[in-house]
Amino acid sequence: MYSFEAFMPTKIVFGKGKIEELPEHVDGLGKKALVVTGRSSTKKSGLLDRVVELLKKVGIESIVFDKVIPNPILETVNEGAELAKKERIDLVLGVGGGSPIDSAKAISITACSGGSYWDYTRVGGAKKPKCALPIVAIPTTHGTGTEADPFMVVTNRKTKEKLGQGFGELSFPRVSIVDPEVMVTLPPNQTAYTSMDAFYHSLEAFINVNAYPYSDVLALDSMKRVVSNLRIAYENGNDIEARTELAWASTEAGITETLTGVVANHALEHGLSGFNEKIIHGLGLCALGPAFLEYIHEHAYKRIAIIGREVFGVIEYDDKRAAQLAIKKLWEFQELFKCNVPVRELGIPKSDIENMSEVVYEMFKELANVTPGKPSVEDFIKIYEMAW
Ligand SMILES: [Fe+2]
């Protein structure tokens, strides 16, 4: 039995060449934009200049904030918010991968509501933000799904907390322009890591104990699109059809995150990349994923069996066995993109496992609670050890 409430207010403008329609979608949102981006890729590709030119067409002046690093940190968010206040910014654009877009969301909340971003997080004071500036997302990767959800992930280096949080209606992008053409420059390994991030958003939403049909249909569809198209885009980044399929798979997965949400596998990964910022989120998910599924198998085999049959074409009538085959297929799929890395090779000492498990469990209790079998801190330790 299921009952649900679904809310997804973002206008999604999807398709090849849609970036050109940016002016008409931002017209009326203000006169001065903060364009939040990373340090180099949007400059090299020419996208940043293009966005600034497109904004000019409807009389919007741009201030570029290009200090965002992968796995964005609190200091950068607060610096961006200060700049936004000083420049009297009306709207915030995030251009790039998940990091610039998540930073744009956090800057928009902090610039409008004041103080430090951490004051509003559930571990840093849980203050309720008063308001947010309108957010516009232009993703250049197909993984995070942040263009279709209210969440942002920000790391506090002092406490080693890598926290994902949303602020309901305030932090959904007003508009997201999802144009697969701006994603073709993504190199093969990034193509794989970001696609696997999308895959795990959908997989986790599908096994979430609160899953329901609206979210299920998107989750299964998104996993199928990743499985059918990742190899093509990995071998030929310019294949626009494969890029389009992966871009939609990512946005669909973002919607499932909004509707249902991820489970403990994401919590465990935030532990890895919170303790070592160099760890790439998508790769961390792959390093943990098969072990995680193996660990929760007895509580989730019915749902994993469906993934096996529908996504990987497993023909097996016994659910427990079909679920085992699904995990094997997932491992084989990840192997194609060299994503099966043992956790010990990711640069975290084994002695950190206990502390890391306690930190992430405390931060992501809600994700543990919606995971089949409700894993505890001890279970987190065991999963890390299995994936070691
Ligand atoms: Fe993710």
Answer yes or no: are the C-beta atoms of 344 and 388 closer than 8 Å: yes
Query: Structure tokens of 268?
Result: 């465990």
The pLDDT value recorded for residue 338 is: 96
Report d(CA 351, CA 337) in Å as an integer: 29
Which candidate, 288, 315, 309, 312, places its Cα nearest to that of 371?
A: 288
What is the CA(244)–ligand 1 centre distance, in A?
19
Please, what are the domains in the chain? 11-182 (3.40.50.1970), 188-386 (1.20.1090.10)
Report d(CA 321, CA 309) in Å as an integer: 11
122 contact partners, CB below 8 Å, separation of at least 6: 163, 165
The pLDDT value recorded for residue 71 is: 86
The pLDDT value recorded for residue 335 is: 98
10 contact partners, CB below 8 Å, separation of at least 6: 147, 148, 172, 173, 174, 175, 176
The pLDDT value recorded for residue 159 is: 87
Q: Which residues of the chain have pLDDT under 50?
A: none
What is the CA(197)–ligand 1 centre distance, in A?
5
What is the CA(196)–ligand 1 centre distance, in A?
9
Query: Structure tokens of 118?
Result: 């951490």
What is the CA(205)–ligand 1 centre distance, in A?
11
> 140: buried, middle or exposed (CB in 10 Å: 19+, 13-18, 0-12)?
buried
What is the CA(107)–ligand 1 centre distance, in A?
20
Near ion ligand 1, which residues have CB within 5 Å? 197
Q: Give me the DSSP letters along 267-298.
A: HHHHHHHHH-TTS-HHHHHHHHHHHHHHHHHH
Q: The pTM is what?
A: 0.96
What is the CA(253)–ligand 1 centre distance, in A?
10
What is the CA(155)–ligand 1 centre distance, in A?
14
What is the CA(86)–ligand 1 centre distance, in A?
32
Buried b (16+ CB within 10 A) or exposed e, 147-163: bbbbbbbbbbeeebbbb
What is the CA(288)–ligand 1 centre distance, in A?
13
Helix or strand holding residue 175 (H, E): strand 175-178
What is the CA(282)–ligand 1 centre distance, in A?
7
Strands 32-38 and 91-96, by their bridges, are: parallel
Answer yes or no: are the C-beta atoms of 195 and 202 closer than 8 Å: no
